Amino acid sequence: MATTLTAAIPAQERLARSERLAPAALLEKQLAQLAALVVHAYANVPFYRARLDAAGIVPGAQIELDQWRRLALLTRREVQGSGTALHALRLPQREGRVLETSSSGSTGIPVTVLGTDREALIFKILSLRNHLWHRRDFARKIGVINSLSFPNARRREGFRQARWGDGEALPFETGPAAFLDISNPVARQIEWLEAERPAYLITYPSNLAAILAAYEAAGRGSPGVIEVISQGEVLPDEVREQCLRVWNATIQDGYSAQEVGVMALQCPDHLHYHVQSEAVLLELIDEDGKPVPEGGIGRVVVTPLYNHAMPLLRYEIGDYAQSGPPCPCGRTLPVLTRIMGRARNMLVTPDGNRYWPTIGSRRFREIAPVVQHQIVQTRPDRLEIRLVAERALTDDETAKLERHIRGSLPYPFEIAIRPMAEIPRQPNSKFEYFRSEIAARVDGV
């Protein structure tokens, strides 16, 4: 799709207006966009016809939110097993090329999704909104440490480019960007940070925690980073605190997924998130499929409003999140207080109750020289505490850790502390602080 370099600028002006619309007016715009997507899906994606008919959704007619909620959820399993059934037979010419992207498979159910040039531009526009919200200085250097797919990305020295991104994403001059693959050991990452000294750093929260622990243990100051942009994993509160303590740097977080793009961005004035309602319709529902009340925790169901190549109507992504009250910043975009993570990473007690695990990990460093940790539920009554520490723990430190962890749990689990030299990441380079090996519900099933 041909796009001028200035296309993103008027888009930011429109976003600045829409983010302060009255909630009813914003919803009206979403439903109008949704109605257009339904017309396209009904005509070009036969998979949806019976579902839309069953929900009483008529192509071309106005859609009400209660009516939309009657549409059957689209699961990860269905997306994974659909083959080409979800692919649109025809596309509007304005959509440009068809692009393919795949999720990392962190749920255990990887999916491949089609998109278009037009949808990709929407994501770039939201990325620029994120930079503008957080008032970043585009003249400074940005650094990236994550799983990279560029040619020669795994070179030990990393690589550089002259600007942060392309002209569609950033239609003006910027400073340079430096990249390093996360497969490099932490010691090499620190060497790279000291040499590159980026003002902004993009990386996974768990990788940042390992870097910060090494800096703190060595008594080193910041490598010039003033802000970290976290992505790809749930961001624990203790990592925010650690970053401020060790580097005097803040963390700005976002919520996105490969198959649906940007869903929410952290408010520039608060720690919670604003749903990017101009691009997605995001619902939080309980186990009965009903909307959760304000402050409630629910399953994330998302409909990308600009994916015409492979519409994902009411897609249950496999995450849980918590809704929040309207934000005092003046932006009327819906609020998510917390991103909880995957359903499969809930703590399950022997009586079948499920909890989001809180194990008091903020205090680990006060008790013992713990560098990294992971909690794995191996049986309904047993937790394995995997620890990487600067040295072997004393019997007293081990006992104190056990007592502290027990005091944070809803059940008297058997606890086994397992020292490790290293806790491996998943094949997709992501890391889970809590992992259940016995959860009954698997995402998308």
Closest CA to 124 of 283, 321, 276: 276
As given in the structure block, the two tokens for residue 55 are 């929900």
Q: Is the pLDDT of residue 69 over 80?
A: yes
Domain boundaries, the chain: 1-342, 347-436
pLDDT digits (tens, 9 = 90+) for 308-318: 999 999 999 98
pLDDT digits (tens, 9 = 90+) for 134-156: 999 999 999 999 887 666 666 67
Q: Give φ, ψ of 134 to 5 degrees.
A: -95, 10
Helical residues (DSSP H) of 19-83, grouped into ranges: 23-44, 49-54, 65-68, 76-81
> Could you confirm whether domain 347-436 is CATH 3.40.190.10?
no
Max Cα-Cα span within the chain:
70
Closest CA to 178 of 153, 215, 213, 151: 153
- Please state, rounded to an integer, the average pLDDT across all residues of the chain: 88
The answer to whether the beta carbons of residues 88 and 309 sit under 8 Å apart is yes
Q: What is the DSSP letter of 440?
A: S
Distance, in Å, from the CA atom of 175 to the CA atom of 138, rounded to the nearest integer, reads 6
**CA distance readout (Å), 227 to 137, 203, 234, 429, 445:** 11, 11, 17, 22, 38
1-342 fold: Rossmann fold (3.40.50)
Distance, in Å, from the CA atom of 265 to the CA atom of 304, rounded to the nearest integer, reads 15
Predicted model pTM: 0.82
pLDDT digits (tens, 9 = 90+) for 197-255: 999 999 998 889 889 989 998 999 899 999 999 988 889 888 999 999 999 999 999 99
- With a CB cutoff of 8 Å and minimum separation 6, the contacts of 427 are 105
pLDDT digits (tens, 9 = 90+) for 240-276: 999 999 999 999 999 999 899 999 999 999 999 999 9
